[in-house]
Amino acid sequence: RKEVEQDPGPFNVPEGATVAFNCTYSNSASQSFFWYRQDCRKEPKLLMSVYSSGNEDGRFTAQLNRASQYISLLIRDSKLSDSATYLCVGWGKLQFGAGTQVVVTP
Partner 1 sequence: GAVVSQHPSWVICKSGTSVKIECRSLDFQATTMFWYRQFPKQSLMLMATSNEGSKATYEQGVEKDKFLINHASLTLSTLTVTSAHPEDSSFYICSASRLAEAKNIQYFGAGTRLSVL
Least distance CB 96 / partner 1 (angstroms): 4
Beta-carbon neighbour count of residue 80 at 10 Å? Answer: 10
Least distance CB 44 / partner 1 (angstroms): 5
Residue 4 gets which letter from DSSP?
E
Which one, 13 or 44, has the nearer CB to partner 1? 44
Write out the residues near partner 1 by the rule CB under 8 A.
4, 32, 34, 36, 41-46, 49, 51, 87, 91, 94-99
Q: CA–CA separation, 66 vs 79, rounded Å?
A: 30
Least distance CB 22 / partner 1 (angstroms): 16
Q: CA–CA separation, 66 vs 98, rounded Å?
A: 21
